[in-house]
Chain A
């Protein structure tokens, strides 16, 4: 057999093949798919309405105007919705470990991570992306900013780095499932928690928590720091300016950490009784 055929299928190709199979499976239940997709659009829009209600009473929250907050919310939401689309299959990992079906992932000649990320993929997740993208567009139109190439680059980079960082959080949350099968809520603090924390200006949490969210669980790098750069807003916590452009480094470090943790977890996997 030729050498090229001996190599395993590249992980992205395997991922796309599996996503196609899951999408076709979901399409077998069309009505349910369309209704839950619509539900996703509506529920994610509710957060946005909450922000609008707050700003109908005050002009500034934590020193930020409505378009600025919408920019923060929009970038976070878009980055998170993209990661949710691509990687939230990890959420079902705890169940497949508990039921022993994870064994089947290990006997396939393709990347385990590709299989787990594609697990139970459903196109309804596009529903989360719709209000997020709409909000971001709204904020971009409303912001009184001069769009220099640097600003545009950082804005695009925010979403890319945010996407990578959230994906790393998904994988790390999957690793928690290996350690404690019933720890889904703990795992959720990584993913949904970090998304929630970065939707609003970080100042609303006060200095200690704000700094913890910067240096311990570095969600501040998802959107907060680069947003300060794009918005031309001084850092309320007075941190050094270079941090505003540190997102790519943080994203790379966390992606590497997640990959290492994943490998370690696969090695330690114990399977079930039968």
Chain B
């Protein structure tokens, strides 16, 4: 399944609110503060603020493939949840695909795709194909477009052998390929992948990476990828954004990062700075 079919995907229509020259993701001073109550004495409780994301600036142009990396608890997931409209930012401005994610969450939902490596969005007890036809209805994908996309991804990700099997019977690698397809059927402008290769074997990892790189090249889909896998970054990402303690610690090309030192060392140092 390394070879992709040669026919290119048809051009996708950009919404009028998002001319291709504008950044598809634009965050300025993006901040998220969680406040909770902690015990302070026998009965007294006091408010404790925790800044998960601290004044991040991020500008991603259409067609970029960005690796978003950082140790556990650095603020990666919180950022992505704000970019998708799941969480409301505490302050800062944010625009994704021409929309304010918080205010236009439902409209934005049709312009983005999300893959959570750790949980599936597929219907556990039903054949894989049924999840896809449901998504066609929910996302109002025109039938011709849907048939075209499904045929393309079935071939590109080799879904044919298990398209009619219940999701609960699929292997982790097969399920991940199903989840990736589910996130792409509606032609999103931006795709967020949260650890898409977690738990996969070497062959499946390779297949997923090849597919993502090809998708990015062929369709110009913007991809934001979080991962702890150095190989993912090395093989996929043209740009790396590193975050630690809620702040951006590096933002630049993979080559520049690699020019400094060997990538693995850089990443290891980045992670050890956490000190946890």
Interface residue ranges, A against B (CB under 8 Å): 1, 5-6, 8-9, 13-14, 17-18, 21, 24-25, 28-29, 100-101, 103-104, 106-111, 267-271, 273-274
Contacts and interface: CB of A to CB of B under 8 A. Distances in A.
Interface stretch (B1-9, B63-71, B137-145, B254-262): B137-145
Given A111-B106, A269-B88, A271-B86, 7 more contacts: A8-B106, A13-B137, A21-B123, A106-B105, A107-B85, A267-B88, A274-B118
B86 A110 contact: no
Interface string B108-128: 011010101011010111100
B158 interface: no
B139 A1 contact: no
A269 B137 contact: no
B166 interface: yes
Nearest to B82: A271
Given A24-B126, A25-B126, A109 B87 contact: no
Contact of B86 (A1, A28, A106, A273): A106
B81 interface: yes
Contacts of B40: none
A136 B116 CA distance: 49
Interface of B: 13, 15, 34, 72-73, 77, 81, 84-88, 105-107, 109-110, 112, 114, 116, 118-119, 121, 123-126, 130, 134, 137-140, 142, 166
A29 B15 CA distance: 44
A20 to B, nearest CB: 9
A107 B86 contact: yes
A104 B121 contact: yes
Nearest to B124: A25
A229 B114 CA distance: 54
Which of A100, A104, A108 has the most B CB atoms < 10 Å from its CB?
Answer: A108
Contacts of A268: 88
A56 to B, nearest CB: 46
A109 B134 contact: no
**What 7 A-B pairs have minimum CB-CB distances, sorted nearest first?**
A109-B109, A25-B125, A109-B110, A106-B86, A28-B125, A107-B114, A8-B106
Contacts of B130: 21, 24
B86 A9 contact: no
A1 B126 CA distance: 31
A9 B140 contact: yes
6 contacts: A5-B142, A28-B125, A103-B81, A106-B86, A267-B88, A271-B81
Contact of A17 (B119, B126, B134): B134
Contact of B84 (A18, A25, A107, A111): A107
B123 A25 contact: yes
Nearest to A274: B77
Given A24-B130, A28-B125, A104-B121, A271 B112 contact: no
Contacts of A109: 106-107, 109-110, 138-140
A106 B85 contact: yes
A274 B77 CA distance: 6
Nearest to A266: B105
A274 B145 CA distance: 34
Contacts of A110: 106, 138
A106 B84 CA distance: 8
A107 B166 CA distance: 23
A138 to B, nearest CB: 38
A120 to B, nearest CB: 11
Contacts of A107: 84-86, 109, 112, 114
A225 B13 CA distance: 57
Contact of B87 (A8, A24, A270): A270
Contacts of B116: 103-104
Given A25-B125, A106-B105, A110-B138, A101 B119 contact: yes
Contacts of A24: 126, 130
Contacts of B105: 106
